[in-house]
Amino acid sequence: MNEVTLVLEAGRAEQHYWRDLWRYRDLFLILAWRDVSVRYKQTFIGVAWAVVRPFLTMVIFTVVFGKLAKLPSEGNAPYALLVFAGMLPWTLFSSALTGAADSMIASSQLVGKVYFPRMIIPVATVVTALIDFLVSLSILVAVMIWYRFAPGWPILLLPAFVALALLASIGPGLWIAALNLKYRDFRYLIPFLVQIGLYVCPVGFSSSVIPAEYRLLYSLNPMVGIIDGFRWSILGGESPLYLPGFALSLLVIAFFLWLGISRFRATERSFADLI
């Protein structure tokens, strides 16, 4: 029997945190599976919600930005496709962020009664967002077939951009999840930020609309790099990737990931007292 001696002391960081996290991987899978399987119970159209919502948003954005505002598309790509290639990562990011930020409060019952590495909770909710994303990916395929639009080789890099979008949401998600327990204000702030973000990020329009001299500044928003990446990988040559901006977005994502993890870890052990 390998004996583990554990020392509990004020302010002492968990020594075996990452090993513990690995030991509790089953809990992570089960919590993620629970969130997914409970999500559409007792709803009439069930998983179809994951299809209907992004589809309607796409139609509205195409009409408003493409037809009424007459913003330019990327090359010859149909505007609807441009919008949808932006909506996919944005929805993934925003629902993962919202879910993660709310998760600690939603699971306060668990946190007060059982020990496990708390990071499992917000990260497991991200899986729900990923599943919804995969479902709505099927609309993208349908729209592409409708417009008879064949993607090029960059489509192979799509999974990498999906992973980036998840990392981008986990960083701030962890940070806000920890803050949310202390200051419930964030509960009201997050839906508001997500609503604004939809217009601040290049979801309904192409980021090439932004004047060239502001483009690098604009890329401080990590979602700009990710949405550009999605467009590049789906629309291929029609939407060239703006590399300096993309690199900057990567840096910002890495910074938030570091910030989120370290803030979460620092406050994690007092969570039970805050609930």
Site for other proteins, rule CB under 8 A: 1, 3-12, 24, 26-27, 29-31, 34, 37-38, 41-42, 109-116, 182-183, 269-270, 272-274
Smallest distance, Å, CB 174 to other proteins? 16
The tokens for 228 are 């550009």
User: In whole angstroms, how close is the CB of 181 to other proteins at the nearest point?
Assistant: 8
Is the CB of 176 or the CB of 250 nearer to other proteins?
176
**3 state DSSP class of 122:** helix
- Measured from the CB atom, the residue of 195 and 270 that comes closer to other proteins is 270
CB-nearer residue toward other proteins: 26 or 213: 26
264 neighbors 174 (Cβ within 8 angstroms): yes
Q: What DSSP string runs through 216-268?
A: HHHTTSHHHHHHHHHHHHHHGGGS---HHHHHHHHHHHHHHHHHHHHHHHHHG
- CB of residue 116 vs other proteins: minimum separation in angstroms? 7
What spatial distance separates the first Cα and last Cα of the chain, rounded to whole Å? 36
Taking CA atoms, 1 is separated from 4, 14, 116, in Å, by: 9, 21, 21
Beta carbon of residue 170, minimum distance to other proteins (angstroms, whole number): 21
Query: For residues 112 and 159, which CB has a smaller minimum distance to other proteins in the complex?
Result: 112
Q: Which two tokens stand for residue 70?
A: 């007459």
- Minimum distance, C-beta of residue 111 to other proteins, in the bound complex (Å): 8
Instruction: Map residue 150 onto helix, strand or coil.
Output: coil
> Which residue, 37 or 138, has its beta carbon nearer to other proteins?
37
The alpha carbon dihedral of 177, 183, 187, 191 has a sign of negative
